[in-house]
Amino acid sequence: MRKPSALAAALAAGALLACGAPRPRPPSGAPALTVKGRVENGPFVFGTSDLGRLPRRAFRAQDPRTGRAVEVEGVSLAAVLRDEVALERGADTAAVRARDGYLAAIPLSVVRQLQPVLADRADGKPLPALRLAWPNLDWPGLETDPRIRFWWVEGAVEVDVLAWDRSFGRALRLPPGTGDAARLGADDFAGQCLGCHRVRGVGGERGPELTRVAERLRAGLEPRIKAHGLAEAHRLGAAPPAEGAPARIAAFLVAIDAAGPLPRQEERREEEPPAGPLRSPW
């Protein structure tokens, strides 16, 4: 009797592992949270009545928008991604999307370390929608990180588990020889703009798509970016954009416009990373 090949054995082992991964079941109550992307057997849809059975935790936190300390309680995002679903190889980013189109792209390493909650209660009272909240009072100095303000998500409805290099990194990648201002602007855009605006098909949907905005605005692009950044900083109670950031973001958008559409993405083996990606800024 012929022995099975190494490839056949590997495929059989993979099938056994997949069989052991959690499987979705119909949501109990109205759909409240979807976990999709690089998850085995996904997507998973959890209903309003499922939230109470999911792993939960509570802590006091200071809402960066109001400055008020509250006791938040809700679903532990880290525990859901660890216990309720099985992540596929290469997953490194959780893109948490709100019902108004806002998106926060958060490294999974940060989720595991800080253990935020998808809160459904604040000071003992039910919230009208899930709120991604962070234990900033338990981590002195966390508020000095400029990213944390953008990671509070009001009305969270979806967690898309991604590989940064194959999603956001690919969309932000610029051709070889692009100037330093545009390359630095890609990082500025990822940190300040990607939550509300799509570029090359990825990002938030609260604001307009910006892939071809440079073609329309040109000379007026940098002043508009600066004015919009100041208005958003005021709305969020955040620091204004760093000196030079509007010019760098404008240079990035001009470079994206000049580069044209991305080539078709080919399927690759997991062990073979795509060539020349923009690495996650986190």
User: What per-residue confidence (pLDDT) applies to 148?
Assistant: 86
Looking from the CA of 133 toward its CB, the CA atoms found within 13 Å total 31
- For 209-220, the DSSP string reads --TTHHHHHGGG
In DSSP terms, 97 is beta-bridged to 103, 158
User: What per-residue confidence (pLDDT) applies to 60?
Assistant: 96
Helices 180-192 and 245-259 meet at what angle, rounded to 10?
110
User: What per-residue confidence (pLDDT) applies to 229?
Assistant: 87
* 10's tokens: 């590997």
User: What per-residue confidence (pLDDT) applies to 64?
Assistant: 83
Of residues 140 and 30, the one with the higher pLDDT is: 30
In DSSP terms, 98 is beta-bridged to 156
**pTM for this model (two decimals):** 0.83
pLDDT of 270 above 60: no
Q: Percent of the chain scored above 90 by pLDDT?
A: 66
Q: What is the mean pLDDT of the chain?
A: 87
User: What per-residue confidence (pLDDT) applies to 279?
Assistant: 46
**Which tens digits make up the pLDDT trace of 25-77?**
999 999 999 999 999 999 999 999 999 999 999 999 998 888 899 999 999 99
Pairing of strands 156-162, 31-37: parallel
Q: What residues does each domain of the chain span?
A: 22-162, 169-259
Of residues 32 and 278, the one with the higher pLDDT is: 32
Report whether 120 contacts 73 (CB < 8 A). yes
User: What per-residue confidence (pLDDT) applies to 278?
Assistant: 46
pLDDT of 239 above 50: yes
User: What per-residue confidence (pLDDT) applies to 124?
Assistant: 96
| Euclidean distance between CA atoms 16 and 40, whole angstroms | 12
CATH superfamily placement of domain 22-162: Oxidoreductase, molybdopterin-binding domain (3.90.420.10)
**Which tens digits make up the pLDDT trace of 173-222?**
999 999 999 999 999 999 889 999 999 999 999 999 999 898 887 778 99
CATH superfamily placement of domain 169-259: Cytochrome c-like domain (1.10.760.10)
User: What per-residue confidence (pLDDT) applies to 233?
Assistant: 79
User: What per-residue confidence (pLDDT) applies to 63?
Assistant: 87
Peptide bond into 263 cis (omega under 30): no
| Euclidean distance between CA atoms 31 and 183, whole angstroms | 40
Query: What is the biggest distance separating any 2 CA atoms in the chain, rounded to whole angstroms?
Result: 75
**Which tens digits make up the pLDDT trace of 149-159?**
889 999 999 99
Q: How far is CA 140 from CA 136, 137, 274, in A?
A: 7, 6, 37
